[in-house]
Every structure is written in structure tokens, then in C-alpha cells.
Amino acid sequence: MKSSFSSLDKIEFAKSALREKKLHDAYNGFESAVCLYGCAYCKLLNGELNEAKNLLESLENSSSFVNWLLILIEIIEGKKGKMPTYFQIRNFYEQDVEMLFFYERYDFISKIFQKTSYLANFNMEVYKYNARLLLNQGYLADSEILIKKSLDICFKDPETHYMYGELLLKRNDIEKAKQEFQKAIRVNGTYYPSLIKLKELT
């Protein structure tokens, strides 16, 4: 009997399983939908780097996100291969490292973070991305170091000032947090997150 599930249905099922930490189910879903990228992603999260690379390299029409995942694997392996682009880092870096946090691949995350200065050659915002990832995981001291590094590079970044304010709120330092939200507004008078946060705090 022919399955009533389309490839898109199978991919959505696989994505849902991935978000629920059901890696085996996710892989089977992607495999059933003949989604090699999804299969490769599961292999990466499971620590099977060679298998992930083989799947990605078998794709005939490799897109930007496929090439990025190959670059990320090479970074984890400590190899120098293709260089990432500004847009690859902006579009994919945070979501992929966040998924590695979700799957507790701290071994991989450590190796990626060690390459922060290298990645900054292609996109200086990587310091901000790492700061936000660490902040979301509760590593406040490490996040603060990277926030300050990011502000040294680009002081006029409302997003980083806002993030610093969020960190200070987690420490219950309300007045200093307000100052950071105000700095974000001085840089960009219509920066909505800071406007809302200041309204809440007053």
C-alpha cells in the first residue's frame, strides 16, 4: 500500500523529532524523505562526522547551507578547508551551535569557540553570536567577556547593548541594565526591544 505521507510531511515529522531529541526517529524520517542534508545533520549531532561529510559531499547541487555545514565539520575536525562567507555565518552559525548545545555536544562547541578569532575574519559579529549563545545557556561571566569584546569592535550596535542589559538583569543590576538599554536607544532611537524593556522597568 502506497504511503499517504508526502516528502514534506516526512521532513516536518523528522524536524519535530529532532526538536524532541529523538535523533533515531529524525534520521529515519529524513531518510524516508530522501533528505540527505537532514540525514547528515543527524549524523553530525550523533558525532559521526565522516558519515555526515560523505552524505553532504554526495549532494550534486550543494547550496550555501550545505557548504556551511561542511565548513563547520572541518572546523570541528581542526582542518582548514573552504572559507566561510559573511552571510553563511550570519544565517546559520547561531542556530547550528544552539542545536549542538541542545544535544550537549560540548566537545564540538569547544572546538568551534576556539576558532572564534578565525571566524571573525569573515564576520566580526561572531563574538556577539557566541555571547548570546552563552547567555542563553546561563554562562553569564563568559558571555560578558564576549559582549565587551563585541562592543570594543563595534560600540554602536544596539543589539549588543540590549544583550548586555539582559545579562545585567539576570544579575539583578537594574540600574546598569537600564543604562545599557538607553545606550541601545541612543544608537538607534527606534530599537524596539530596548524601548519595551525600559517601559517595563519604569
pLDDT score of 7: 84
- For residues 184 and 154, the answer to whether their CB atoms sit within 8 Å is no
Per-position pLDDT tens, the chain of length 202: 345 568 888 999 999 999 999 999 999 999 999 999 999 999 999 999 999 999 999 997 679 999 999 999 999 999 988 999 999 999 999 999 999 999 999 999 999 999 999 999 999 999 999 999 999 999 999 999 999 999 999 999 999 999 999 999 999 999 999 999 999 999 999 999 999 999 999 8
Tell me how crowded residue 67 is: count the other CB atoms within 10 A of its CB.
17
CATH for 127-202, options being 1.25.40.10, 1.10.3720.10, 3.40.250.10, 3.40.50.261: 1.25.40.10
Torsion-angle region of residue 48: left (phi > 0), alpha (psi -120 to 50) or beta?
beta
13-32 burial by CB neighbour count: b if 16+ within 10 A, else e?
A: bbbebbeeeebebbbbbbeb
Crossing angle for the helix pair 126-136 and 94-102, to the nearest 10 degrees: 30
pLDDT score of 81: 83
Separation of alpha carbons 202 and 200, rounded Å: 6
Task: Provide the Cα torsion 163, 164, 166, 169; round to 10°.
Answer: 180
pLDDT score of 4: 58
At which residue does the C-alpha cell 576556539 appear?
A: 114
Q: Give this prediction's pTM.
A: 0.91
List the chain domain ranges. Answer: 127-202
pLDDT score of 1: 37
Cα-to-chain-centroid distance, residue 118: 16
- For residues 41 and 53, the answer to whether their CB atoms sit within 8 Å is no
Which residues, in sequence order, are CB contacts of 95 under 8 Å at separation 6+? none
